[in-house]
Amino acid sequence: MQLLLSLLVAALLQVTTASVLTPPVLPLIVRNPYLSTWLGNARDVPWSKWPMFYTGEEIGLSLMVQVPHTGTIYPLVGKPHEVLSPDLGSHIEYATYLGSYYDASTTNLTYRIDLPATQSLEITVSFLSPITPTSTLRQSIPASYISVEVYGHVDVNIYMDVDGRWVTSDLASRITWQFDDLKLEDNKTNLRRWQVQRETELLFSEIRDRAEWGTLHFAGPADVRYESGDATIVRGRFAKEGAVGNVIDRTFRAVGDRQPVFAFSKSFRLRSDACTGSVLFTVAQTQDPVVRYASSRGLTFMRPLWRSWFPTTEKLLAFHYKDFANANALASNYSQQLAKDAYVSGADDYVDIVALSARQVMGATSFSGTPEKPILFLKEISSDGNSQTIDVIFPAFPFFLYTSPRWLAYLLEPLIEYMLSGQYPNTYAIHDLGTHFPNVTGHPDGNDEYMPVEECGNILIMGLAVVNSLRYPADSYASSVWSTVGSPSQAPSDTQGLFPLDTLQEWDGISGQDGKWGGGTEGEALAREWVERSYPLWTQWTGYLVDFSLEPANQLSTDDFAGWLALQTNLALKGIIGINAMSKLAEVVGYYTDYSFYKNISYTYIAKWEELGMSRDNTHAKLAYDWYGSWTTIYNLYADALLCFHLDGTDNEVSMLAHKTQKPMHDRTVGFVPRHIYEKQSIWYHYVRQKYGVPLDSRHFYTKTDWEFFAMAVASKDVRSEILESVAKWVNETDTDRPFTDLHETEGAGGFPGPNFFARPVIGGHFAFLALERACEGRAMNGLEFLDDLSDDEDEDSEYWIAAAKAAKSLASGRRQDSYEEL
């Protein structure tokens, strides 16, 4: 088994050969809102700071090695050497850090230790938080792998420890711990495990965003040594002896009292011909229950989804550890396909950006429910603690469309269930399902954050996106390549949800996979049933948009940090696209009168929208209808293309459901939103781009990266390329010190503008190119080729455009102009 493990670890380390971008923070162990550990000094050596929780709070995770024939200690991750004293015989030196490499699931840190007699030792520490689009079972497991591979002809000892800061943010909290050996399924090998938890758990409670209930599990193979105790003593013993002492400190105490750590050590004898060795650890954080949810049955303590497949935590950990090869294979398949697609769609920079984004998106989620009715809960993170925020799911949804549309349906499920149950009193869509995660208790008083047009438009657009993901005639046309893996699931029974996971499948020798998502007649039937089930809600939300979206009253959009504003041009566009989305939902279920009704209204509204929303000289969209001289990023244009509305009236138009009914009364034009809107906005973004990207609008220099990628996806290739270069430059140079922020300045040091957003799932919007590439049976991007003809004619108007851009840039200082004659 050890030889096999060494080969698997070696394969893992070869997944990524190079990373172009050097972000300030890298993901290490990122699985859900509470198992979220990051390397906060990613441009420096990894032993200069402790790893951190996404808030910046230190997490006790340390690795170091000792070379026996010199007795020298080399720290690798964290700062365990701080407590080692030369007076007690500890000799500390530092390895040559060779850098980091990452893909969508893995972060590798590589070191070289130069020794006398021209000998050297190379060490790679690999953190794997696998993203497995075809296996929700594996994705639901709240655990990550840490492997250490050593190469050289020198004996070496490896040390790793964790501390109580994994289970509480309060250093005064008392914790308890225990050590045991778990039998793996073959009954021949053991798994050694530390368990750590608060002595008094606080169910569904957080302190500084850290969960105050649940158990940390730190496990390694049977041949590792173990020890718990005061950090100074445990680490000192390893520094002196090259191993920990198989000793358990049973004096339970507070996290900050003689800092208790929980350690493993492993010795490699490499002076023989066998010059490589590896060891695999796993870190898990289990909670049961995971959230409190106001379901249609009433307030419910929701269990983790993994509990349905693994009746005990021990069985979960044993499966997870033995499943390393399968999890790694599925994760590698995803990372490699993502890298290939991103390179074709963007460039090397884009490959790294989406790789950095993937774990962060999934790190905001927690799988719950049962295999019959799975649910995916989401925490907003940093901008707020809200649960299941619709306008946070919306910017993230390109990631889910590309990766697993099934998971998008699971995200929408608790929202639809809650509003179908009648617990929400307003006629528009709810903003979120709870003020602070993990308390998903809804808003029965209707006093959630006021974004009525925003949320109605969002959920209608995403609803149609789910439907479109189910409806494809052949596998090559699926919105996600992983949707086609497996065979169609059996038709759900009355006791199941529409998308159950109770019959898992085996493919390519790997069991526990979901099966095919949609496609063919099965996909058509599921789409119809899913829309029909909630049709009263879809029409209710659309009715609100018919009444209030064309000229939105004073309210918030998703960019609520920018404040309230009436007559927002971009917000109105979202609402109008939402009405058109409803026409398509009606078509799916055969309600053709509704189809024509909503289609005609949307076309009437979009013509009026252009009249109200474009500048006087017709060169760009205004921030608000009555704010002359302003401009804005029309990122909601992305939904028009993603839902294939831009193909209306073209040879590429997709009509997957033919019918003989009355047609909408509008005149057929090329595209729902006219092509010239796309053209004008694309050119405008070129001229208002700053050092680190395109500002959100004319009020400030800050940008939102999720919306930048929405806007880039529907701009010309040249404009996309230059904005992408600006974003990549920002990644390399920003002074932000938290996981990938979606809100930053486009000038200066590219820092936080206040508020400070970080680790948010909204950067799933970075997948906008990839989702669009596969939309409309692969025709969506082809329908935007007209944008690439613009560059040939651009020089004719360059002086005019430059003058317009200068005027636009002058507004970025925050000075409002109520009129500007040239614009």
At residue 10, the pLDDT reads 52
Task: Dump pLDDT digits (tens) for 96-154.
Answer: 999 999 999 999 999 999 988 768 999 999 999 999 999 999 999 999 999 999 999 89
Q: What is the mean pLDDT of residues 728-739?
A: 97
What is the rounded CA–CA span in Å between residue 405 and residue 462?
A: 10
Q: How far is the CA of 518 from the CAs of 92, 104, 374, 525, 541, in angstroms?
A: 58, 25, 17, 9, 26
Say if CB 134 and CB 507 are below 8 A apart. yes
Coil vs helix vs strand at 362: helix
Judged against a pLDDT cut of 70, whether residue 820 lies above it is answered with no
Coil vs helix vs strand at 508: coil
Say if CB 451 and CB 391 are below 8 A apart. yes
At residue 183, the pLDDT reads 87
At residue 275, the pLDDT reads 86
β-strand partners of 565: 555
Judged against a pLDDT cut of 90, whether residue 793 lies above it is answered with no
Pick the CATH number of 2-288+299-328 from 3.30.1450, 1.10.510, 2.70.98, 2.40.128: 2.70.98
Judged against a pLDDT cut of 80, whether residue 386 lies above it is answered with yes
N-term to C-term CA, the chain: 71
Q: What is the mean pLDDT of residues 456-483?
A: 98
Task: Dump pLDDT digits (tens) for 170-189.
Answer: 999 999 999 999 988 776 77
Q: How far is the CA of 32 from the CAs of 19, 38, 354, 364, 793, in angstroms?
A: 25, 13, 18, 5, 49
The residue among 190 and 598 whose pLDDT is bigger is 598
Judged against a pLDDT cut of 60, whether residue 812 lies above it is answered with no
The residue among 365 and 495 whose pLDDT is bigger is 365
775 burial class (0-12, 13-18, 19+ CB within 10 angstroms)? buried
Q: What is the mean pLDDT of residues 19-47?
A: 98
Say if CB 171 and CB 154 are below 8 A apart. no
What is the rounded CA–CA span in Å between residue 822 and residue 796?
A: 18
Residue type for 351, please?
A: V
What is the rounded CA–CA span in Å between residue 437 and residue 498?
A: 26
- Which residue in 477, 799, 498, 451 sits closest to 654, CA to CA? 477
CA 608 to chain centre: 36
- Fold match between 2-288+299-328 and 379-491+518-813? no
Task: Dump pLDDT digits (tens) for 529-557.
Answer: 999 999 999 999 999 999 999 999 999 99
DSSP character for 662?
Answer: P
Place of tokens 């225990």: 178
At residue 2, the pLDDT reads 52
Strands (E), 379-497: 439-440
Residue type for 439, please?
A: N
Q: What is the mean pLDDT of residues 571-598?
A: 99
At residue 16, the pLDDT reads 44
- Which residue in 12, 56, 419, 329 sits closest to 208, CA to CA? 56
Judged against a pLDDT cut of 60, whether residue 436 lies above it is answered with yes
CB half-sphere exposure, 602, CA atoms < 13 A? 29
CB half-sphere exposure, 169, CA atoms < 13 A? 17
At residue 89, the pLDDT reads 79
Coil vs helix vs strand at 170: coil
The backbone region for 406, taken as left when phi is positive above 0, alpha when psi lies in -120 to 50, beta otherwise, is alpha
Residue type for 671, please?
A: G
What is the rounded CA–CA span in Å between residue 680 and residue 620?
A: 6
β-strand partners of 178: 195
Say if CB 727 and CB 705 are below 8 A apart. yes
Task: Dump pLDDT digits (tens) for 570-579.
Answer: 999 999 999 9
What is the rounded CA–CA span in Å between residue 538 and residue 532?
A: 9
- Report residue 587 as tokens: 């078509």
Domain ranges for the chain: 2-288+299-328, 379-491+518-813
CA angle 484, 490, 493 (to 5 degrees): 135
Pick the CATH number of 379-491+518-813 from 3.30.70, 1.50.10, 1.10.3470, 1.10.760: 1.50.10
At residue 668, the pLDDT reads 46
At residue 496, the pLDDT reads 74
Task: Dump pLDDT digits (tens) for 652-680.
Answer: 554 444 444 444 444 446 899 999 999 99
CA 392 to chain centre: 11
User: How high is the mean pLDDT of the chain?
Assistant: 92
Say if CB 355 and CB 102 are below 8 A apart. yes
At residue 69, the pLDDT reads 87
At residue 491, the pLDDT reads 66
What is the rounded CA–CA span in Å between residue 30 and residue 793?
A: 47
CA angle 546, 697, 360 (to 5 degrees): 85
At residue 8, the pLDDT reads 54
Predicted model pTM = 0.94
Judged against a pLDDT cut of 50, whether residue 823 lies above it is answered with no
β-strand partners of 220: 192
Q: What is the mean pLDDT of residues 576-602?
A: 98
What is the rounded CA–CA span in Å between residue 31 and residue 130?
A: 9
DSSP string for residues in 771-803: HHHHHHHHTTTGGGGGGGGGGGTGGGGHHHHHH
Task: Dump pLDDT digits (tens) for 317-371.
Answer: 999 999 999 999 999 999 999 999 999 998 899 999 999 999 999 999 999 999 9
Total Cβ atoms within 10 A of residue 199: 12
pLDDT band at 379 (very low <50, low <70, confident <90, very high): very high
- Which residue in 88, 43, 90 sits closest to 71, CA to CA? 90
